Amino acid sequence: MFGYYLDLALRSLRRNKALTVLMVLAIALGIGASMTTLTVLHVLSGDPLPGRSDTLYYPQIDPRDDSGQMPGEEPPKQVTLIDGLNLLHAKRADRQALMAGGYVPVQSDAAAVDPFYTEARFTTADFFPMFGTRFRYGRGWNAGDDEAKARDVVINGELNSRLFGGADSVGRSLRIADTRFRIVGVLDDWAPNPHFYDLNTGSFGRTEQVFVPLQTAMNLKLERHGSNDCWGRGTGGNGRIYPGDTCVWLQFWVQLDSPAKAAAYERFLVHYSQEQKALGRFVKPPNVRLRNLMQWLAHEKVVPDDVRLQTGLAFGFLLVCLVNTIGLMLAKFMRRAADLGVRRALGASKRALFAQLLVESGVVGLVGGAGGLLLAGLGLWAVRQRPSSYAALAHLDGAMLLVTFLLALGSTLLAGMLPAWRACQVPPALQLKSN
C-alpha cells in the first residue's frame, strides 16, 4: 500500500512543480537557518572540559574598601597578588593554581626565526594536572620549581612546530624577553573553548603558546596582559610595573573533588575573609562566591547576545516557513476534496485517506529536512568565513546532527499531519453532490 501511496504522492507533487519546490525550499531554508544558529549557540555554550568541569571552582573574595570605586554586591572577578598567594599556599583544595595572562617576545636559537610576540600564561604548577592538559612530550613543572623561580617553560604544539618542526624539544631552550628558558613540556593540541580560566583576554578562539611559572615571570617582570580593577590608591601599573596591592588582576582556580569539600572550601573562604578583616586588610564583612566552571561561565554570560538573537530570528523564520508550507499543503489537499470524497464514498476509511495524504506531505518534509541539513552545512561554512573570534569553532557534532534530524522530522510531521488530518475530515456525500 505504501508503494502505491508514494507513487500517488510523487505524481501529485509533480503536477505542481513550482509549488512543490517552494514548499521544499521553505522548509529547507527554515531548518538550515535554525540549525546553523543553534549549532553556533551550542558550540559557544558548551563545556570546555567535559568530565572535569564539575570539580573545578573559581573562588571569589572581596578585599575592597568602601570607597565605592567598584559598586555592587558581587565580589571582584579576580584576586589580588597577596590573596592569591595566601590561598595558593594554604593548599586547602585538592589542587589550586594562581595565574595571569602575559604577552611576551619569543626568540629562538635558530637565527632563521625572527623574534615575535605571543600570548603567554604565567601560572603555578597545578595548572596542568588540574585542567588535564594533554602533553605531547615531557610534562609540566612542579611546586618546587615554582618556589625556586625556575626558568622552565611549557610550549604548545603550534609553537613547537614553528620553532622545532614538531620534534621532541624537551630539554632544548628558547629565549623569552632575552632570558633563556628550558623547555620541560610540549602540549598536544589543547585549547579549551571558551577560554574559561581567563575570560578577560577574549572568550573564544584564544590560546597561549607559552606557559611560564608565575613567580619566575614576576621575578623577570615579564609584561602582563589582561584586565585589572583597582580601588583606594591602586593603579593599574605600566609596562614592567605590576598593578598595586589594591588591584585585582590574577585568576585563582581550585579543584574540589566532592561537594562536601566544596562546602568546606567555601567556609574556608569566609574564615579567611574574617581573618584578613581582623588583620585590618579587609574592610567589608566576608563576601565570598564559589562557583563551579559552568556556573561561572553562565554568570559571566560568555555567549554573545548577537548569537542568541540570531538563533531567535532563525527560529522565527522557521516558524513562518512551516506555517507557509502547512497553508499551501492544506490548500492543495482541499482542492482535491472531490477526489477524496469519491474515495471515501467508495469505502476508503479516514485512516487510509490520512495515510495517503501523510505520505505526500511527508515526502515534502523529508526532502526539505535533508535540504535543511545541507544548508546547515553550508551555513556553518559561511559562519567559519566570518571574522568573529568564535568563527573557527562552528562545526556540526554528533549531538547537533541528531537535533537537526529530530527537528527535520518534527517539522515534517507537523507540516504533514495537520493538513492531512484536516483534509480527511471531508464528508463524502457533500463532495459528491457538487459538480
Partner 1 sequence: MELRPILSTLRRHKTTAWLLILEIALTCAIVCNAVFMINHLLQHMQMPTGIDEHGLVQIQVAEVAPLPDIYARAREDLAVIRQVPGVRAVTLTSQLPLGFSSSNANIMLDPTQRTPSLNAGTYFGLDLVRTMGLRLVAGRDLRPDEVLDADVVLKLVAAGQTDTFAPVTVITQAMAQRLWPGGDALGKMLYLGPIGVRVVGVVAELARANAYDDATAQYSMILPMFMGAGKDQSYLIRTRPQDRQTVLKAAVAALKKADPRRVVTTQRTYDEVREKFFENDRSMAGILVGAIAALLVVTALGIVGLASFWVAQRRRTIGVRRALGATRRNILNYFLTENFLLATLGIVLGMVLAYGINLFLMLHYELPRLPAVYFPVGAIALWLIGQLAVLGPALRAAAVPPVVATRSV
Which residue, 116 or 381, is less far from partner 1 as judged by CB?
A: 116
Which residue, 167 or 378, is less far from partner 1 as judged by CB?
A: 378
Which residue, 270 or 338, is less far from partner 1 as judged by CB?
A: 338
Which residue, 6 or 283, is less far from partner 1 as judged by CB?
A: 283
HSE-up of residue 268 (Cα within 13 Å, Cβ side): 17
Which residue, 87 or 303, is less far from partner 1 as judged by CB?
A: 303
Among 9, 26, 97, 170, indicate the residue that binds partner 1 (CB under 8 A): 26
CB distance 390 to 195 below 8 Å: no
If DSSP codes are grouped into helix, strand and coil, which group holds residue 177? coil
Q: Is 68 in the site for partner 1 (CB under 8 A)?
A: yes
Q: For residues 214-253, which are near partner 1 according to CB under 8 A?
A: 221, 223, 230-241, 244
Give the distance from CA 308 to its chain's centroid: 12
Among 113, 132, 335, 392, indicate the residue that binds partner 1 (CB under 8 A): 335
Question: At residue 252, what are phi and psi to the nearest 5 degrees?
Answer: -125, 120
Q: Is 320 in the site for partner 1 (CB under 8 A)?
A: yes
Residue 224 CB-density burial (10 A; 0-12 exposed, 13-18 middle, 19+ buried): buried
Q: Which of 69, 361, 75 is nearest to 232 (CA)?
A: 69
Q: Is 353 in the site for partner 1 (CB under 8 A)?
A: no
Q: Is 327 in the site for partner 1 (CB under 8 A)?
A: yes
Q: Is 115 in the site for partner 1 (CB under 8 A)?
A: yes
CB distance 138 to 170 below 8 Å: yes
Q: Is 177 in the site for partner 1 (CB under 8 A)?
A: yes
The span from the CA of 90 to the CA of 92, in Å, is 6
Q: For residues 401-430, which are near partner 1 according to CB under 8 A?
A: 422
Q: Give me the least distance between CB of 16 and partner 1, in Å please.
A: 9
Which residue, 238 or 347, is less far from partner 1 as judged by CB?
A: 238
Handedness of CA 323, 326, 329, 333 (dihedral sign): negative
The residue type at 381: W
Q: Which of 128, 72, 87 is nearest to 266 (CA)?
A: 87
Q: Is 166 in the site for partner 1 (CB under 8 A)?
A: no
Which residue, 107 or 273, is less far from partner 1 as judged by CB?
A: 107
CB distance 36 to 376 below 8 Å: yes
Q: Give me the least distance between CB of 252 and partner 1, in Å please.
A: 24
Rg (CA), the chain: 31
DSSP H helix total and E strand total for the chain: 14, 12
Which residues contact partner 1 (rule: CB under 8 A)? 19, 22, 26, 29, 33, 66-71, 103, 105, 107, 114-117, 177-178, 221, 223, 230-241, 244, 304-306, 308-310, 313-314, 316-317, 319-321, 323-324, 326-328, 330-332, 334-335, 386-388, 422, 435
